[in-house]
Chain A
């Protein structure tokens, strides 16, 4: 399994796009920008719903209403972030996968957070049947917030503990 992952990473590094971003002087920071721009939209949309579920801040719209109107945007943001992240990863994939913080982020935390995001969207209406969000809904919102904090923490941990050629 480990060998297969490493082989896959080496292949990614040798792909035309991996080579292109690595050899360019300007593409790497631009991909970082794409990654962060996408993340902003994704997190802005997701956290607004989560915080509304928790019950803090304004109460102009219900969590279900917010989830419905922002759900599509959270995914557009996610795919932009994914595209930028994928290209960054392709530049030096073998270095990335050798880091525990990155492995956690990619294999555990991000998939969990994504699944949780879909669960929150599906259940938001049920949790907000009455004027007050059910305890379950509040916990669900808090858990999604914490999952995203953990994703960012793993990323920063990875940035600080790894010697990337292209930081």
Chain B
């Protein structure tokens, strides 16, 4: 199945057209910086490291759209990059680890988002919020670490 994807005509075109592949890489990098950056900024605010005196909710609302547009674009471009070597990626453990971390990271980001209005109303940031924000930072930065380890450990990428 994955070899079939890798051998599809549009995928081989993508894999052999350098400017096109480069374009998808640019989108992937830019989108993931946007996604992870805005998430980490919100988490830092929840942790009270960043601008504690300023209200939480408006910042969360301002960042939210860019987080998910970034995430969506990173997923689409990431899938395209994955497709060019699908057969190899599915066989290596670091790639599995990266996917697992991303799933957990998305869950933590959603949990933070759903809870922000509640935490904002409560005034003081509860311990669960601190914990969730910390988990979210570790997972999102962990996803990037897993990503850079794929070429280092497997030669793919």
Contact = CB atoms under 8 A, between A and B. Distances in A.
Interface residues of B, number: 37
A145 to B, nearest CB: 10
Interface in A125-167: 148-149, 152-153, 155-157, 159-160, 167
B33 A160 contact: no
Residue among A26, A51, A156 with max Cβ neighbours from chain B (10 Å) = A156
B93 to A, nearest CB: 15
B143 to A, nearest CB: 10
Residue among B22, B36, B37 with max Cβ neighbours from chain A (10 Å) = B37
Contacts of A73: 41, 44, 50
Contacts of B116: none
Interface of B: 18, 21-22, 25-26, 29-30, 32-34, 36-41, 44, 50-51, 54, 57-59, 61-66, 141, 144-145, 148-149, 151-152, 157
20 contacts: A29-B152, A36-B33, A40-B33, A40-B37, A43-B33, A44-B37, A44-B40, A47-B66, A57-B66, A58-B64, A61-B59, A69-B50, A69-B59, A73-B44, A77-B37, A152-B26, A152-B30, A152-B33, A153-B22, A160-B22
